[in-house]
Structure 1
Amino acid sequence: MHLVLLDLDGTLMDSAPGITASAAHAYRRLGLPVPDAAALRSFVGPPIGDSLLAHGVPAARVPEGIAAYREMFRETGMWDNAVFDGIPAQLERLRAAGCTLAVATSKPEVFAVPIAERFGLAPLVDAVFGAPLDESGSKAQVIGTALAALGWSGGPALMVGDRVYDVVGAREHGIRTLGVSWGYPTGDELAQAGAVRVIDHVADLAETALELLGR
């Protein structure tokens, strides 16, 4: 098996509009100052609870903030989204080369699956894995669940993602990460975290992944 694990937000999809709008709604509902645009953009990737806590929401009010976020996210935010141009063709090329493809995202799986279905990604991958609804567990645990479900036994594998969490989570399983800069990384976080390579263009995804997998 030549396995490619793919982050969702910022790697396959431009999901920032819906996530940032839902986060801003949560702050307004809590009666707290809404973070600036750069801070809201950093909400894309990590679990929402972690982001709220990191940006001024008192720990005791984080559950309330999560509920307010999801209220808007379920209604409109999850659909304010788009697949990055060129991604479907890159996934098709990877599958044609014999790779097993799976989405591994920190987004709760109850959202990730319908999003992948609505936007046409589900038919292009072999499975979609996400976090529990309570967002317990790390990116490494999501990846571990994916590896177990897919029957991975240590063959060639690669994580593709845009944030440090992807690199760190994959490394816990001995898997290298191909970083992508078209998502939401800050500065050179991917290189500093240890991504084996960082690419800037969607058109380079399949070719670079296959090279790193030795295909």
Structure 2
Amino acid sequence: MSLHESPTGSEVVRSWSCVLFDLDGTLTDSAPGITRSLERMFEAIGRPVHSEDELMAYVGPPLVTTLRAREDFTAAEADHALAVYRGFAEESDLVDNAVFPGILGLLQSLQADGVPTATATSKPTGRARRILDHFGLTEYLTFVGGASDDETRAEKAEVIAYTLAELEKLGVDTSRPVMVGDRFYDVEGASANDVPTIMVEWGYGSPAEAKGAMAVVHSVDQLRSLLLGQALAA
């Protein structure tokens, strides 16, 4: 579904009580750092290094889940690989990463309009906050939601539920939330919490991953208009 389409054929315009953002591929272009850290991780643990295209499949979902699903790792081996990866990612999170153009202005606009915002990322909360602090984005967010360091909260549905609960504790109206992401994990996780999703085309997902999304946007300007309930000229 495009920005201007709805099941009834009318424009998609909403008034959201809060907005949840994915981090990797939505707010920041982190793929170069993630894939580089993955290459170093596989080398360090003595495993074959995958191609760049294969490594891109690891960008987005919880890493430990992907390792168990795509590799012949035991749970203990996956946990060890995750620890090795995080050691390399400490540097790449900040060096091989960048905020997508227009994102800072979008967060500033939402804050100025009084729309509460939060991240709902599969990255551990501490790492997510470190990245957001580094790029000067934290001050424009109401809450930083992420996975737990011990992976007990890792799946996107769990992260979204946690983030909404924490927003409620802060007095935020969570009756009309919307998720903004770039992968089908975002759509599935949001759907599990009865939250609609807006997919962004500048991220790492394929067009097929937008199935089930409420809308798809190809620019930050389109996203801003949809989030602030402003219709764009066709």
| TM-score, with structure 2 as normaliser | 0.84
The residue number in structure 2 matching 1:105 is 121
Output the CA distance in 2 between the equivalents of 1:84 and 1:69: 24
Query: Which residue does the alignment assign to 2:213?
Result: 195
CA distance in 2, matches of 1:2, 1:36: 42
Amino acid of the structure 2 residue aligned with 1:77: S
TM-score normalised by structure 1 residue count: 0.91
Q: 1:59-208 maps to which residues of 2 (within 5 A)?
A: 59=74, 60-74=76-90, 76-79=91-94, 80-137=96-153, 138-151=155-168, 154-190=174-210, 192=211, 194-208=212-226
Structure 2 unpaired stretches of 5+: 1-15
Partners in 1 of 2:226 and 2:68 — Cα distance?
36
The alignment status of 1:42 with 2:62, answered yes or no, reads: no
Q: Which amino acid aligns with 1:21?
A: R
Provide the aligned length of Structure 1 versus Structure 2: 209
Q: Hey, which bits of structure 1, 4+ residues long, moved more than 4 A?
A: none
Aligned partner letter, 2:157: A
Q: Which amino acid aligns with 1:150?
A: L
Q: Is contact 1:2–1:98 with CA below 8 Å preserved after alignment?
A: no
Q: 1:19: Cα distance to partner?
A: 0.8
Q: Which has the larger radius of gyration?
A: 2
8 A contact 2:18–2:174 mirrored in 1? no
The reply to whether residue 3 of structure 1 matches residue 18 of structure 2 is yes
Q: Percent identity?
A: 41
Q: Determine the C-alpha separation between the residues in 2 that align with 1:83 and 1:96.
A: 20
Distance 2:180 2:22 in 1: 6
RMSD after superposition: 1.7
Deviations 1:122-156, CA, capped at 9 Å, x for gaps: 01111101101122232111111111111155522
Cα deviation 1:142-201 (Å, max 9, x = unaligned): 1111111111555221100011111111112211000111011034212x2x00011111
User: Is the CA contact 2:17–2:174 (under 8 Å) kept in the aligned structure 1?
Assistant: no
Higher strand share: 1
Unpaired runs of 5+ residues, structure 1, are: none
The higher relative CO (CA closer than 8 Å, separation ≥ 6) is in 2
Whether the aligned pair in 2 keeps the contact of 1:52 and 1:62 (CA below 8 Å) is yes
Distance 2:92 2:152 in 1: 21
| 2:10 alignment counterpart | none
